[in-house]
A and B are shown apart, each in its own frame.
Chain A
């Protein structure tokens, strides 16, 4: 009956309910949207590492992220494949160049050179054509999201990157990095474009016979003392951490999330407070006819819970609509599975915090006041 009373009060006090709902919805939607943007950007930061299909990355010594390393010698490959745990090792070369668009203007692109025929660190998802396109020396891929930027190249169109002739042979999907436009090409083409010395590469990708453990990593590190040797997971984490710490993204997201939560809490507090003030007499009556403080607390908590529940539902509905709308667009958005329940629980907790002032007022309801 306390729950029913809470429900009836919530339904009856429409305007304050709507206000408090707005607060919860604002929290869920704004924070959720911020988080999806943040996680979307996080994905961008380590997109190449995460899709590399390798167990271990070998790069030049003392790297701080996957995007900035010196070139390393290809002779390390022999040392690596000499270890019994290693299945294969492949060099990759990452360079940058200017992509000439149809109208003669240029766009800066990162060219990922991958060795045939394994094409490790090659594209992982295609919109048009497939990875066979890259078996040809002059082929490059462009990403669907960058088509407009690159002047809408069509398949088999010939253009230049870094004054080298390339032919667009496939269109990828989801290959978007934090540092901009990603173009895949063969390793030899990237050598031409970036004019790197022969036999030197950006990284060596290693595949092991089993999951990497500390023993194998120690052996690899011992064999390659001048290199950074990381598991894919470690490198992904390192890269994300680097960008978050060094670009101000972390603090800016933290700040806007805190603001969103604060605004929500203030809205919830104020509306719940006025609602409970308006109900002070009812709570006094409930006390007089035998309700304990605890019972009043239950009613107020139930009100908060009902409002929070509905608010979380509506907020998520809006969030999902937004995410569906922005999926496949240039706006980064990604919500990992664990975020939704965490966000829901967080929003409910915040609603309780917001209703705590109201609760204090409700608990003050004096049963003796009903006689006045």
Chain B
């Protein structure tokens, strides 16, 4: 295993209420669980069930109404806004439903921005590393292209490169395949799977796309803000890595 950060992410009674105008509505009921490194967790469930809400809380972009979250021994629910930003910068990688690359910056610059968004220069070797990752993702030819010139699949791979360049301990993906055709979707999922296993990261993928489920080491199903099933699927791992 290459990933240096064999750290577990632990949720203790994480819940979320949203006010819809007049009254508060609980969209996520207390969740207590752990996400292990080296494991690809798929978070599945019908629309509106609270998947994105949970992922946003895990990703430190949304504060829970209740509960605590730990990264290793460190409590991360009580971080200040700037500390949370720093945590996201250093520990997290995000892949969104839409690639969300910044127009005007080239693919390479978009990737490097993940290092430098707080203004510090990218560390030495960051550029080579970015080139290497982009090459590995089949974007070697497109380093200096504008995002709008890329296909949807290429953009999504570029956004994965942006998420990976910092060697994040936690990789969070919200419907990474929904904007892609079947084949690109498979490629992206294979890639995420490999990253989880080979590099020992916590990988959480939100999806209601059944084609994603075979890649899951663990399948968590949410309905109406509650976890209704949580299964580890050992056997499928081998099948997938052979394909």
Contact = CB atoms under 8 A, between A and B. Distances in A.
Interface of A: 1-2, 4-5, 8-9, 11-13, 281-282, 285-295, 298, 366-368, 370-372
Contact of A1 (B56, B59, B94, B121): B121
B61 A290 contact: no
Contact of B117 (A1, A281, A366, A372): A1
Interface string B44-66: 00000000100110010110000
B104 interface: yes
Contacts of A286: 102, 113, 117
Contacts of B117: 1-2, 286, 289-291, 295
A281 B55 CA distance: 18
Given A12-B104, A370-B100, A371-B97, A290 B119 contact: no
Classify chain B's interface size: 35 or more
A1 B119 contact: yes
A293 B117 CA distance: 11
A12 B103 CA distance: 7
Contacts of B113: 1, 5, 286, 289
Interface of B: 52, 55-56, 59, 61-62, 81-82, 85-86, 88-90, 92, 94, 96-97, 100, 102-105, 109, 112-119, 121-122, 162, 174
A285 B112 CA distance: 14
Given A8-B104, A289-B88, 13 more contacts: A1-B116, A1-B122, A2-B116, A2-B117, A4-B105, A5-B109, A11-B104, A282-B102, A291-B118, A293-B81, A368-B61, A370-B94, A371-B59
Given A2-B116, A5-B105, A295-B117, A288 B81 contact: no
Given A289-B89, A290-B117, A291-B117, A371 B104 contact: no
A286 B56 CA distance: 15
B162 A370 contact: no
Contacts, number: 96
B90 A290 contact: yes
A291 B60 CA distance: 12
4 pairs of A and B residues whose beta carbons are closest in the complex: A290-B89, A12-B104, A1-B116, A8-B104
Contacts of B61: 287-288, 366-368, 370-371
Contacts of A290: 85-86, 88-90, 92, 114, 117-118
A368 B114 CA distance: 17
A368 B92 contact: no
A290 B102 CA distance: 15
Nearest to A370: B96
Contacts of B97: 371
Given A1-B112, A370-B61, A371-B61, A295 B118 contact: yes
